[in-house]
A and B are shown apart, each in its own frame.
Chain A
Amino acid sequence: MDVRLPRLGEGADSGTVSAVFVREGDTVKTDQAVLELESEKAVASIPAPSSGRVTKIYVKEGDAVKVGQLIFALSEDAGVDAGKAATKPIDASVGDDEERELVVVAEEASASTTEPLPGESLSQLPTGVVPPGSPSIRKLARELGIDLTRVRGSQRGGRIVMADLKRYVQQMQHASLKPKPQAVPFPTAPVAESIDFSKWGKVTTKKLTTLRRTISTRMVESWTTIPHVTQFDEADITSLLALRKRYASKYERKNGHLTLTAFALNVVVDILKKHPIFNASLDETAGEIVFKDYYHIGIAVDTEHGLIVPVIRDVDKKDLLQLSLELHELAERTRQRKVGLDEMQGGSFTISNQGGIGSAHFTPIINKPQMAILGMGRGVLKPVVVKRKVQQRTMLPLGLSYDHRIIDGADAARFMVDLVQAFESFKEADVRI
């Protein structure tokens, strides 16, 4: 089976191979990491789609690779689950592609149609099986240099006919003529004049990594296309911290780390349910707001390589223990650069907690195409007037950046009020285990 580079997530279509974990001839298990790729906002491992032996590796460290490019070849092994492994790509292609297409539509402002984009592989056929099309179609495709695995067949069994080939060619042409909206010039775009800093003192230089370039491109894109407003407030987390103190050891016994981020996940998801616009996305092409029935929350993780945002799925369906376990495990893997690409996709809201480091309010930048992002600072003891008396309370600084194109200030204020309220009235029942 030839394995091509899968779509990497939000708008990404290329990356750089930062490590190759296997050698030709090695056997791998399903989901075992084969390569590590530095791409977009992540350093991620590319897993083996099925068990088997790596027969060929087409890329090496430092290679730039694109979505759809052949990266390695796998021969299904003779193991017990080989039959299952062999059928898996087919099953996956049915569900996955549909899902992937939806993601593409939702996340790529350029996607004007639900047709698959050129370069997206549509079907993973069993080894040695060619895409179904008549000899004359196959010959024409060869002459035009078209890989038929990328053409969607409209006929029974996915058979490709002339009309499909024409449509594909038209799409290709369309795509190549249309300026790509993602091709926002790199931040350095206004040709920066080279400055010789060394004339004022000693300097050292360091090349930008792919991850850093990606972060900068995406920050510029978000900052320049979304009118950001940040709503500030503080939440009194004194009683929440008391709960944390009471239950921390119980959680520890189950390997759970009762962090403020875990509490925040639990709190935020309820507020998102009440204010669905903050969990939505804007489809600029269709002129529609896309509301999501799922709550996948991204967590900004500070790694030595830079910011990476893995996503915790279905936060609304998980209790505090589950969230604390998952959060810890995911953050660990993210720091070890072992988080999969699919684990960074599909987020509907993001939390950035700087409390572990210190400092107070800040204005986070929205993780496009999401609508809003919550920034948390460090909770500090402050004199607060409670019931006409000055008391010592621990106040958590909060900053909510939102997309003012869609969300009005009043909405944000209402969101913030509810959020603060939720932090302040966290119920013991929700933390008890």
Chain B
Amino acid sequence: MKRITTELVVVGGGPGGYAAAFYAADKGMKVILFEQERRLGGVCLNYGCIPSKAYLHAAKLISEALDSDHRGIHFAKPSIDLNQMRSWKNSILDKLSTGISGLAQRRNVEVLFGRGYFEDSRTLRVETEKGQQFVEFERAILALGSKAAMPPAFDLGNKRIMTSTESLEVEEIPKDLLVVGGGYIGMELGTVYATLGSSVVVVEALGSILSGADPDLVRPVLRYAENAFKELRMNTKVQKMATSGKKIKVTFEVDGKPKDELYDRVLVSIGRVPNTRDCGLENTKVLKDDRGFVRVNDRQETNDPGIYAIGDVAGGVLLAHKASKEARIAVEVMTGESSTFEHIVIPAVVFTDPEIAWCGLTEAEAREKKIPVAVAKFPWTASGRAVSFDRTDGLTKLVIEPQTERVLGVGIVGAGAGELISEGVLAIEMGATAKDLAESVHPHPTLSETIAEAAESFYGYATHTFTKKREEKE
């Protein structure tokens, strides 16, 4: 039996895991990176962020073409070759994954593919293609990730009932698609399928889609969805599903009574569960919370000294960039730096049509926590750039601390909001005031001007809107 020793093992090769492995190697540590799939990149690269964005780009292309008649450009109805589209998507993933492997190699990070299992707090057993291996480590980073939740009542083993992972293969364009869950995954993939030609029904158990985002930011997406989807049903629960020939019979609970409907496919996007089962964590001192996420402190330390956890498996918001930041914190803590996840601004982006992005304090959160704030808004109907490509369905808003005028939060809905939000992150992290944003020159004509104009409107002198002058501070 072969035993390997190393300073650090990183379990999981997603955007948290490979970032941690690379950073630790850059800091001079001997690192082994484990990935149970055959390819690095994790859910993000293989079944999440990247492939969904490829399809959303295709969807955007189709929408733009179909929406260009008034511009004097007439396209025929597009013909879609799903196989070619899938190959194109896969080529993107290959490119990125190869890139990551190359970077690992150049850093001398050893990558082992196989399932890892903790024998104890210092030993990991790995089942690789070449057989069993034992790795003794000084420190470990758990970057195990998460997977789409699939309740047993829906889990019929029928491929027509999909999670986000299967839906991104787009085997067919179902005539009738039911999306269970109006969170960001359901809304993004619903948009893809609706644009490709499916008749999409989204059901959401709560009273609104995209909970967590401020309602005024969600409104333009609701308008889009009401138009592009067959139906949006709030406060609706799915009781069960059953195979019915080539269709899925879905039983809803409507006014306390069951109601059946038939769908060609169903996408279940009701949340994600951590990959903390069957990996031997019970043989360590690592503690989990009642939902199975690994408990960590703000230095990413678990209850087991020397074992850290980052990314989805550590709970919180399940976002790739949060995982990558936690990777840096974990490694820095290991090397004796006093880093912490405290007070770090994690932006959120929903790639719907239009996109929603926010960071820092939301208006709703301020209200809930009774933090006194002023809110400055700039509607995109007043943005020349937005008008120039017919996307005035946008809004930029700043959440401002009224005494110091410091920017505490930024929320944007509109085309390309995801690209715009970074300025907000920087502003909050730097402790910038609304004045700082207003005084920084933003190039014309761009959507970024909406941030400066929102800041100006706080003082009552935005060029392209008219707001009543802000009353002098008492």
- A contacts, CB < 8 Å to B: 76, 78, 82-83, 86-87, 90-91, 94, 126-135, 138-139, 142-143, 153, 155-160
Assess whether A156 is in contact with B343, with CB atoms less than 8 Å apart.
Answer: no
Known contacts: A129-B408, A132-B404. The answer to whether A86 contacts B431 by CB under 8 A is: no
Q: Cβ of B403: which chain A residues have Cβ within 8 Å of it?
A: 87, 90-91, 94
Does B153 interact with chain A (Cβ within 8 Å)?
A: no
Q: Cβ of A78: which chain B residues have Cβ within 8 Å of it?
A: 370
Does B471 interact with chain A (Cβ within 8 Å)?
A: no
Assess whether B337 is in contact with A143, with CB atoms less than 8 Å apart.
Answer: yes
Give the shortest distance, in Å, between A86 (CB) and chain B (any CB): 5
Of the candidate stretches B69-77, B432-440, B455-463, the one touching chain A is: B432-440
Sample of 12 further A-B pairs with CB below 8 A, known A87-B403, A129-B408, A135-B429: A78-B370, A86-B370, A86-B372, A127-B371, A131-B431, A132-B432, A134-B431, A155-B431, A157-B431, A157-B432, A158-B404, A159-B406
Separation of A134 and B431 alpha carbons in the complex (Å): 6
Q: Cβ of A94: which chain B residues have Cβ within 8 Å of it?
A: 403
* A-B contact list, 27 entries, CB within 8 Å: A76-B370, A78-B370, A86-B370, A86-B371, A86-B372, A87-B403, A90-B403, A94-B403, A127-B369, A128-B369, A128-B371, A129-B401, A131-B431, A133-B431, A134-B429, A134-B431, A139-B338, A142-B339, A142-B340, A156-B405, A156-B433, A156-B435, A156-B436, A157-B401, A157-B406, A158-B406, A159-B432
By beta carbon, the residue of chain A nearest B403 is A90
Known contacts: A132-B431, A160-B431. The answer to whether A142 contacts B338 by CB under 8 A is: yes
Q: Which of B370, B431, B435 sits near A83, CB closer than 8 Å?
A: B370
Give the shortest distance, in Å, between A69 (CB) and chain B (any CB): 21
Q: Cβ of B1: which chain A residues have Cβ within 8 Å of it?
A: none
Give the shortest distance, in Å, between A77 (CB) and chain B (any CB): 9
Q: Cβ of A132: which chain B residues have Cβ within 8 Å of it?
A: 404, 406, 430-432
Assess whether A138 is in contact with B430, with CB atoms less than 8 Å apart.
Answer: no
Give the shortest distance, in Å, between A160 (CB) and chain B (any CB): 7
Assess whether B433 is in contact with A83, with CB atoms less than 8 Å apart.
Answer: no
Q: Cβ of B436: which chain A residues have Cβ within 8 Å of it?
A: 156-157
Between B369, B404, B408, the greatest number of chain A beta carbons within 10 A of the residue's beta carbon is seen for B404
| Count of chain B residues near A, Cβ 8 A | 22
By beta carbon, the residue of chain B nearest A88 is B372
Q: Which of A126, A133, A155, A158 sits near B372, CB closer than 8 Å?
A: A126
Give the shortest distance, in Å, between A55 (CB) and chain B (any CB): 13
Separation of A307 and B371 alpha carbons in the complex (Å): 43
Separation of A25 and B370 alpha carbons in the complex (Å): 19
By beta carbon, the residue of chain A nearest B400 is A157
Q: Cβ of B371: which chain A residues have Cβ within 8 Å of it?
A: 86, 126-129
Between B337, B370, B401, B430, the greatest number of chain A beta carbons within 10 A of the residue's beta carbon is seen for B370
Q: Cβ of B369: which chain A residues have Cβ within 8 Å of it?
A: 127-128
Between A129, A131, A134, A155, the greatest number of chain B beta carbons within 10 A of the residue's beta carbon is seen for A129
By beta carbon, the residue of chain B nearest A143 is B338
Assess whether A157 is in contact with B404, with CB atoms less than 8 Å apart.
Answer: yes
Separation of A407 and B169 alpha carbons in the complex (Å): 94
By beta carbon, the residue of chain B nearest A142 is B338
Separation of A425 and B16 alpha carbons in the complex (Å): 87
Give the shortest distance, in Å, between A147 (CB) and chain B (any CB): 13
Q: Cβ of A157: which chain B residues have Cβ within 8 Å of it?
A: 401, 404-406, 431-433, 435-436
Assess whether B343 is in contact with A130, with CB atoms less than 8 Å apart.
Answer: yes
By beta carbon, the residue of chain B nearest A140 is B338
Separation of A76 and B372 alpha carbons in the complex (Å): 12
Assess whether B370 is in contact with A82, with CB atoms less than 8 Å apart.
Answer: yes
Q: Cβ of A133: which chain B residues have Cβ within 8 Å of it?
A: 431
Separation of A94 and B403 alpha carbons in the complex (Å): 10
Assess whether A134 is in contact with B430, with CB atoms less than 8 Å apart.
Answer: yes
Q: Cβ of A160: which chain B residues have Cβ within 8 Å of it?
A: 431
3 closest residue pairs by CB, A with B: A132-B431, A157-B433, A157-B404
Give the shortest distance, in Å, between B431 (CB) and chain A (any CB): 3
C-beta contact mask, B413-454 vs A, less than 8 Å → 1, else 0? 000000000000000011111011000000000000000000
Q: Cβ of A139: which chain B residues have Cβ within 8 Å of it?
A: 338-339
Give the shortest distance, in Å, between A177 (CB) and chain B (any CB): 25
Assess whether B433 is in contact with A159, with CB atoms less than 8 Å apart.
Answer: yes
Give the shortest distance, in Å, between B332 (CB) and chain A (any CB): 9
Q: Cβ of A82: which chain B residues have Cβ within 8 Å of it?
A: 370
Give the shortest distance, in Å, between B286 (CB) and chain A (any CB): 26
Q: Cβ of A142: which chain B residues have Cβ within 8 Å of it?
A: 338-340
Separation of A160 and B429 alpha carbons in the complex (Å): 12
Separation of A134 and B404 alpha carbons in the complex (Å): 16
Separation of A142 and B344 alpha carbons in the complex (Å): 14
Assess whether A126 is in contact with B401, with CB atoms less than 8 Å apart.
Answer: yes
Give the shortest distance, in Å, between A140 (CB) and chain B (any CB): 10
Separation of A304 and B372 alpha carbons in the complex (Å): 45
Q: Cβ of B404: which chain A residues have Cβ within 8 Å of it?
A: 132, 157-158
Q: Cβ of A90: which chain B residues have Cβ within 8 Å of it?
A: 372, 403
Separation of A129 and B432 alpha carbons in the complex (Å): 13
By beta carbon, the residue of chain B nearest A141 is B338
Q: Cβ of B405: which chain A residues have Cβ within 8 Å of it?
A: 156-157
Separation of A158 and B401 alpha carbons in the complex (Å): 12
Separation of A391 and B338 alpha carbons in the complex (Å): 84
Which chain B residues (354-385) contact chain A, with CB distance < 8 Å? 369-372
By beta carbon, the residue of chain A nearest B342 is A130
Give the shortest distance, in Å, between B191 (CB) and chain A (any CB): 34
